Structure 1
Amino acid sequence: MQDAMEAGLAPRPDHVPADRVRDFDLYNVPGAAEDIQAAYAAIQQSSPDIFWTPRNGGHWVATRGEDILVMQRDHSRFSYQQIVLPPMPEGTPRQIPLEIDPPEHARYRRPLMQALLPSIVSELEENVRQVAIDAAERLRPLGECEFVEDFAKVLPIHVFLELVKIPLDDKAYLLTIAEDSVRGSTAEIRLGAQHAMGAYLLPWIRARRDNPGDDLLSKLVNVDISGERISEAEAISYATLVLFGGLDTVAGMIAFIARFLALNPGHRRQLVERIDDEAFLKNAIEELIRRHGLANTARIITHDFDYKDNRFRAGDRILPANLFVGVDDRITADPLEVDFDREKPVHAAFGNGAHACPGAVLARREIRIFLEEWLKRIPEFRIKPGTQPVLATGMVNGVLRLDLVWP
């Protein structure tokens, strides 16, 4: 036990059987440099359905879709009160609204849901599409690009900063902070990113609390809970979490999809040929999302209970990683294969239940616009010879670099 502690590993609790222990580090997954989702699928195939790892403070991992879907919906046993690994230092402000359980959660979530209704997202579409067109047109004559910086991050950050009415000139600074927040391998790095984002947002938050507008930031920082406006500290936490989500996750999904299409010309040509077939494109997008899950959120066990043949104890942490659902061969046949004609692709990329991602409609719209406008202008592209895509694992998996070329 002493050797484990010296190596930075948590000692195995008495209620965890020795045969359930696996050495799994979500910040360093074997094989992830080539294909993150395939690396997770390999863990799924070689491990118990639920196992315990001494890494990142020590926690359980659920690998099968059946269990993950239960854990996403059952907040009474699997609470969202602590969602990151390793856990943040004691006293760290909770991430609003993600680290709040129902029914309190609904009151914080409501303004975000109302701001991202399908009808409102449709109103944004013209602007989103123009950003995609401008970026693709600028890149097309160059014959190459670093896709993450030149396109994948451009689309969501333009859209999101427009929603919150924050200057686009600040995007480079904000993206750097977002990277540390979602893929920082230590609690100190992630906490530093939260503090940096909070410090950046504070003057904007104070201005919107003094003179609210009709933008998303004004709605978030003036949430009314039981007749009282949330505190400034809560407003900072809320705005910080939403900004991180808006800046990083959509960019990550777009980059994963671009990487897949660069490596799979047959699938790319299928999309090019049927890009105007709305039903086909909608299903193809769900299939691409299924294959390229990226978000991870942990849970904390609320009380002692047995789940299947596992003994959970109050305070245990568990990682029901979303992407395991999409690559689960008990749910999807040949899950690592992408089949655009697959009926009703099953995934949990946007979560389920009370905490399902309120930005899912906007994310799907941005992915669709990316495919439509990019493929119409740059239908043939591949990985630049001599380069390798740079992938990263963490609480949100992502693509850090993707060099593409085209005729």
Structure 2
Amino acid sequence: MTTNALERPANVPADRVIDFDLYSFPVEGLEYQRSMRDIFLSHPGDVLWTPHNGGHWIVKTSELVGKVLSDNDHFSSRRIMVSAEDSDRPPLVPLQLDPPHHAAYRQLLQQALSPKAVGKLGERARELSIELIEGFKKDGHCEFIGQFAQHLPIAIFMEIVGLPAEDRPLLTDIAETAMRGETEEARNDAAGKLMAYGMAKVAERRANPGNDLISTIAKAEVDGKLIDDFTLTGLILLLLLGGLDTVASTLGFYAQFLATHPEHRRQLVEHPDLIANANEELLRRFPIAILAREVKADLVVDGMAFKAGDMVLVPTPMDGLDEDKFHEPLSVDFNREKPGANTTFGGGVHRCVGSMLARTELRMFLEEWLKRIPDFAIKPGTSPKVSARSVATITSLELVWAV
């Protein structure tokens, strides 16, 4: 959907204008990342400008993606979407707070995702992976997104925050609408439902606290005071959106790649010691997040005059798929050196606080699935589709294998 198309400002050279709408651009098959890269690389210059969604800049090299994400002096996280539809919501804390104001809230989340905690959660993820796979292995088929991807990471998340397992389907559906609903009204309505659900749980934990993350947040003090409800609502919304969507979306891209590349499957089955590196390589090749930042003050980037208040789109695929950083970046090479040197989990002070847990859950999938279902394919006659706004996902993925 194209929104708020803008005439080219005087500070934008005509040769840097690209007809690109983040929320509606042609994707070839399931190649969301490649399609975006091809569109950007078809235009000259390392910085582009599009009139869509209010008009905004786009950075298209690994160097500039890293710069925008790490330079807090010139780029703010106050606005993290190129559209303005989330402007009336509470800020997603700590993601939409600039340093140093973000630090105390980020620390609350980090405590629940420490290496020690992730170690225990990793074993739970392994147990759950085995349980799920064994549950449908004998059938010779599954709808991967609904039967695995939306179960494994979300079940672990529900345990971290102490939410009842029976609420998973409801919350998953609401989060999907909040992230990728057809209309702004639908997305805002879903976000409102998530906020209301989360704050109801906060009220419960304030009355009867437990050992879960929501209880920790509900009781936490920042600067000697309990977190006010407005700030807490944004924090809870971010927590729910992150926990209910991102790893599930990444799992879909992992599964579709392995389903269509038998030589890569065999490599991991025969050499399971490669799985840790393969995990990093697949993260590099299939980023799902498209970030954005607001320009704080006038500056020049790649010869372009950025003005205070301008929005800059930061597509993480343009880091992992930059040929100046990675040799043959579109190819998946499980022996690649240092594939993890990328911004798939963001960058700078806002790098994803749950990245360690996400990596662990994704590795559990690779290890346990390939032990039990080493050969599988996309069901003939089905046509999986990619749905995306700021986070891309595969909406349905029918897999088949011989029993």
* Fold equivalence (TM over 0.5): yes
Quick check: 2:59–2:313 contact (8 Å CA) kept in 1?
yes
Aligned mate of 1:36, from 12, 32, 35: 32
Aligned mate of 1:54, from 43, 51, 57: 51
Equivalent position of 1:361 in the other structure: 356
| Deviation for aligned residue 1:186 | 4.8
Equivalent position of 1:170 in the other structure: 167
Aligned mate of 1:324, from 318, 324, 346: 318
| Deviation for aligned residue 1:176 | 1.2
Quick check: 2:199–2:233 contact (8 Å CA) kept in 1?
yes
1:17 partner letter: P
Unpaired stretches in structure 1, ≥5 consecutive residues: none
1: CA distance, partners of 2:364 / 2:313: 32
Equivalent position of 2:276 in the other structure: 282
SS at match of 2:327: coil
SS at match of 1:298: strand
| Deviation for aligned residue 1:336 | 0.7
Quick check: 1:271–1:281 contact (8 Å CA) kept in 2?
yes
Structure 1 residue 130 and structure 2 residue 124: aligned?
no
Q: CA distance change for structure 1 residues 271 and 57 in 2, over 3 Å: closer, same or farther?
A: same
Quick check: 1:86–1:186 contact (8 Å CA) kept in 2?
no
| Deviation for aligned residue 1:188 | 3.3
1: CA distance, partners of 2:256 / 2:206: 42
Structure 1 residue 312 and structure 2 residue 312: aligned?
no
| Deviation for aligned residue 1:402 | 0.6
Equivalent position of 1:388 in the other structure: 383
CA offsets per residue over residues 125-159 of structure 1, 9 Å max, x none?
Answer: 22211111111001101101110001011101100
Q: What aligned pairs does 1:141-220 form with structure 2 within 5 A after superposition? A: 141-184=138-181, 186-220=183-217
Quick check: 2:82–2:312 contact (8 Å CA) kept in 1?
no
2: CA distance, partners of 1:185 / 1:317: 23
SS at match of 1:335: coil
SS at match of 2:73: coil
2: CA distance, partners of 1:46 / 1:186: 30
Aligned mate of 1:301, from 270, 295, 305: 295
1: CA distance, partners of 2:178 / 2:217: 20
1:379 partner letter: P
Equivalent position of 2:336 in the other structure: 342
1: CA distance, partners of 2:106 / 2:382: 42
| Deviation for aligned residue 1:89 | 5.2
Quick check: 1:390–1:400 contact (8 Å CA) kept in 2?
yes
Equivalent position of 1:248 in the other structure: 245
SS at match of 1:34: coil
| Deviation for aligned residue 1:306 | 1.2
| Deviation for aligned residue 1:299 | 0.5
Quick check: 2:47–2:302 contact (8 Å CA) kept in 1?
no
CA offsets per residue over residues 210-257 of structure 1, 9 Å max, x none?
Answer: 333221111223332111111122212111111110111101111100
CA offsets per residue over residues 154-203 of structure 1, 9 Å max, x none?
Answer: 10110000111111111111111111222236543332221110112222
RMSD over equivalenced CA pairs, Å: 1.5
2: CA distance, partners of 1:253 / 1:153: 11
2: CA distance, partners of 1:175 / 1:164: 15
| Deviation for aligned residue 1:32 | 4.5
Moved beyond 4 Å, runs of 4+: none
1:31 partner letter: V
| Deviation for aligned residue 1:93 | 1.6
Equivalent position of 1:27 in the other structure: 23
| Deviation for aligned residue 1:121 | 0.6
2: CA distance, partners of 1:233 / 1:205: 12
Unpaired stretches in structure 2, ≥5 consecutive residues: none
| Deviation for aligned residue 1:64 | 0.7
Structure 1 residue 270 and structure 2 residue 264: aligned?
no
**Structure 1 vs Structure 2: percent identity of aligned residues?**
43
CA offsets per residue over residues 22-56 of structure 1, 9 Å max, x none?
Answer: 11111222224431011022023212311111112
| Deviation for aligned residue 1:12 | 1.9
SS at match of 2:49: strand
Quick check: 1:62–1:318 contact (8 Å CA) kept in 2?
yes
TM-score, normalised to structure 1, is: 0.95
| Deviation for aligned residue 1:305 | 1.4
SS at match of 1:332: coil
Aligned mate of 1:397, from 378, 383, 392: 392
SS at match of 2:233: helix
1: CA distance, partners of 2:13 / 2:108: 44
Q: What aligned pairs does 1:53-132 form with structure 2 within 5 A after superposition? A: 53-88=50-85, 90-132=87-129
Quick check: 2:275–2:366 contact (8 Å CA) kept in 1?
no
Q: CA distance change for structure 1 residues 239 and 92 in 2, over 3 Å: closer, same or farther?
A: closer
Give the count of matched residue pairs.
399
| Deviation for aligned residue 1:13 | 2.0
